[in-house]
């Protein structure tokens, strides 16, 4: 593989950049693989990469229905954070933060990781207390957290509404300074390029239509491009999890829902951080191009349509304007929607299944993008070693039966509860 | 915007409704031994069908009745609505 470097950039300039290697190949599916990963999104590509890098398993195929990075990894708001209270989420995400910090070097691909900090705004004394508690839990897990008072918040985001007559006055906020954003497509492409260079077959435009299971063991998959034998199969298909689970006669604690996001027209730099509204569900950051990137609630009903409805967008942006009134002056440039695998407790599942050789990675809800490296790393471990790593031990499938739910915010599919 | 034909009030916009999830889920029968698996299926496990989906909505800013709506989860097309106790054809 050609290394991306200043020297290669100069060298290729002499041939008008016509002779760069392809970032990844377009192979025809082989008859058999050691591991087949279904889903060529961020998590699937990362899983394949870590299978090759950490476990030396390179006879791997990624099967993607459309094109790689065309799903949620290309449709999110690029926020990276580990500001969780519960140990399972905190330790898992903080492990991921470390992978994020090293990612550009590791992948030899600039993912533009920008640790600009995230601020969760508090709008009451009770919320400040809750944030102090969460901040303390974070710090006990080695995650950076700073509790800000109203004046400190005002210094960082003076454009927020600090006037006296607002419905939800800003009391303060909880900041994780090491949180941030990254270039989402670059993450998918970086992982794809490295995985490909280590021998992983990235097979696009190949839809899985069935599974070959006998005597409780997976033997392979049936696809639109023929049957593929596999010793192990990993499911990494986010919003399509239920569709594939049905083919396996599995019913999962997952519902597929629609989540929208939008960007404004680009404006001059105004917002350095990621900021979330504490009296509803709204968050905003400013992209490197200057667009205000905004998102919030689910549309609220089961959906497989990758496009949203205006009532939810209106609701979300009303919250945004309550928080930062200047947003009302901006024109909307783009909106988009993705389909989320919403788990019932709002936390993900990375686990083995009752079928031998079949592994499950789903339930990412609102937080799939930031989990990409940690999810890939732990899923690769789970597949390679046929046992869960301590980092994803809490993300078990049977926790819903045993009662060990990880209800970080009590949010799952039921948005109206919040 | 979805428009839902409330069987009690007529055609209204989705803003008046609140979503209640899969309507085909049945609570295990009362006063009977219930296995963990049955509870799991009732509380957590969902098929989340792609295509025709029978679901509960509540006309929360209208008659406040729960209703059943048959809707396509891929296209958002609404085929029929039923009263909560109405048999689904």
- Helix H, strand E, coil C: the string for A359-395 is EEEECCCCCCCCCHHHHHHHHHHHHHHCCCCHHHCCC
Burial A13-36 (b: 16+ CB within 10 A, else e): eeeeeeeeeebbeeeebeeebebb
Q: Is A252 on the interface with B (CB under 8 A)?
A: yes
Q: Tens of pLDDT along chain A (418 residues)? A: 889 999 999 999 999 999 999 999 999 999 999 999 999 999 999 999 999 999 999 999 999 999 999 999 999 999 999 999 999 999 999 999 999 999 999 999 999 999 999 999 999 999 999 999 999 999 999 999 999 999 999 999 999 999 988 999 999 999 999 999 999 999 999 999 999 999 999 999 999 999 999 999 999 999 999 999 999 999 999 999 999 999 999 999 999 999 999 999 999 999 999 999 999 999 999 999 999 999 999 999 999 998 889 999 999 999 999 999 999 999 999 999 999 999 999 999 999 999 999 999 999 999 999 999 999 999 999 999 999 999 999 999 999 999 999 988 767 777 555 4
The structure tokens listed for A80 are: 């990276």
CB within 8 Å: A303 and B76: yes
- Reference A197, options A391, A3, A416; nearest CA is A3
Note whether B2 contacts A251, CB cutoff 8 Å.
no
Within an 8 Å CB–CB cutoff, is residue A413 touching chain B? yes
Paired strand residues for A228 = A221
What CA–CA distance (Å, rounded) separates A200 from A24? Answer: 10
Contact A171, A125 (CB under 8 A): yes
* Candidates B13, B46, B50; nearest CB to A304: B50
Task: Give B70's contacts (C-beta < 8 A, 6+ positions apart).
Answer: B52, B53, B54, B55, B78, B79, B80, B81, B82, B88
A353 inside 8 A of chain B by CB: no
| Mean pLDDT score, B24-37 | 91
Contact A184, A114 (CB under 8 A): no
* CA closest to A403 among chain B residues: B40
Q: Which CATH superfamily is domain B1-26+50-89 in?
A: Folate-binding superfamily (3.30.2270.10)
Per-residue pLDDT at B28: 93
Q: Does B2 touch chain A (CB under 8 A)?
A: yes
pLDDT of residue A407: 87
Residues of B in contact with A310 (CB under 8 A): 1
Query: Which of B1, B15, B44 minimises the CB distance to A344?
Result: B44
CA distance A25 to A173: 47
pTM comes to 0.96
Asked if the C-beta of A209 comes within 8 angstroms of chain B's C-beta atoms, the answer is no
pLDDT of residue B89: 77
pLDDT digits (tens, 9 = 90+) for A169-196: 999 999 999 999 999 999 999 999 999 9
Tokens for A93, please give them: 């995400």
Nearest Cα residue in chain A from B69: A301
Query: Closest Cα of chain A to B47: distance in Å?
Result: 6
Domain map of chain B by residue range?
Answer: 1-26+50-89
DSSP A223-289: ETTEEEEEEEEEE--GGGHHHHHHHTT--BSEEEEEEEEEEE---SS---SEEEETTTTEEEEE-TT
Partner B contacted by A398 (CB < 8 A) = no
B41 in A contact zone (CB under 8 Å): yes
Residue B81 has pLDDT above 90, yes or no: yes
Residue-level pLDDT at A415: 57
Of B2, B43, B48, which has the smallest distance from its Cβ to A255's Cβ?
B48
List of residues 6+ apart from A112 with CB closer than 8 A: A104, A182, A183, A186, A288
Cα–Cα dist A79/A335, whole Å: 17
DSSP string, A37-69: EE--SHHHHHHHHHHHHHH----EEEE-SS-TT
The DSSP symbol for A328 reads: G
B15 near A CB under 8 A: yes
Asked if A253 and B45 come within 8 Å (Cβ–Cβ), the reply is yes
Distances (CA, A) of A263 to A24, A180, A282, A291, A317: 30, 17, 13, 6, 11
What is the pLDDT, as a whole number, of residue A410? 63
Q: Please, what is the end-to-end C-alpha distance for chain B in angstroms?
A: 26
């Amino acid at each position: 593989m050609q290394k991306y470097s200043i020297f290669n950039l100069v060298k290729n300039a002499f041939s008008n950049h016509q002779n760069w290697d392809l970032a990844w190949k377009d192979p025809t599916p082989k008859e058999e693989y050691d591991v087949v990963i279904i889903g060529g999104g961020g998590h699937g590509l990362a899983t394949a990469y870590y299978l090759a890098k950490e476990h030396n398993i390179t006879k791997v195929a990624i099967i993607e229905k459309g094109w790689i990075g065309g799903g949620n990894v290309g449709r999110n708001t690029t926020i990276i954070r580990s500001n969780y209270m519960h140990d399972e989420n905190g330790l898992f995400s903080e492990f991921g933060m470390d992978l994020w910090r090293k990612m550009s070097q590791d992948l030899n691909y600039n993912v533009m990781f920008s640790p600009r900090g995230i601020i969760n705004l508090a709008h009451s004394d009770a919320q400040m207390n809750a944030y102090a508690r969460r901040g303390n839990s974070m710090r006990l897990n080695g995650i950076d957290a700073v509790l800000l008072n109203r004046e400190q918040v005002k210094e960082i985001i003076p454009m927020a509404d600090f006037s006296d007559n607002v419905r939800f006055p800003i009391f303060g906020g909880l900041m994780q300074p090491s949180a941030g954003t990254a270039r989402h497509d670059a993450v998918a492409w970086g992982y794809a390029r490295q995985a490909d260079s280590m021998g992983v077959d990235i097979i696009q435009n190949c839809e899985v239509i069935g599974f070959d299971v006998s005597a409780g063991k997976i033997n392979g998959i049936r696809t639109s491009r023929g049957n593929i034998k596999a010793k192990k199969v990993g499911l990494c298909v986010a919003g399509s999890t239920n569709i594939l689970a049905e083919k396996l006669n599995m019913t999962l604690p997952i519902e597929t829902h629609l989540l929208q996001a939008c960007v404004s027209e680009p404006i001059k730099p105004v917002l350095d951080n990621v900021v979330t509204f504490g009296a509803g569900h709204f968050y905003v950051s400013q992209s490197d191009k200057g667009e205000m990137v905004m998102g919030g609630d689910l549309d609220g009903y089961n959906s497989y349509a990758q496009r949203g409805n205006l009532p939810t967008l209106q609701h979300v942006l009303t919250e945004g304007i309550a928080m930062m009134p200047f947003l009302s002056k901006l024109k909307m440039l783009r909106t988009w929607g993705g389909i989320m695998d919403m788990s019932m407790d709002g936390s993900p599942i990375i686990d083995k299944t009752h079928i031998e050789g079949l592994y499950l990675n789903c339930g990412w809800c609102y937080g799939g993008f930031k989990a990409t490296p940690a999810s890939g790393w732990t899923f690769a471990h789970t597949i390679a070693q046929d046992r869960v790593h301590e980092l994803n031990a809490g993300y078990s499938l049977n926790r819903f039966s045993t009662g060990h739910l990880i209800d970080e915010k009590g949010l799952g599919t039921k948005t109206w509860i919040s | 915007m979805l428009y839902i034909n409330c069987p009690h009030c007529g055609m209204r916009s989705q803003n008046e409704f609140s979503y209640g999830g899969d309507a085909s889920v049945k609570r295990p029968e009362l006063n009977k031994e219930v296995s963990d698996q049955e509870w799991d299926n009732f509380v957590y496990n969902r098929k989340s069908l792609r295509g025709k989906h029978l679901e509960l909505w509540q006309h929360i800013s209208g008659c406040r009745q729960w209703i059943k709506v048959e809707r396509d989860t891929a296209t958002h097309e609404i085929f029929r609505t039923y009263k909560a106790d109405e048999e689904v054809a």
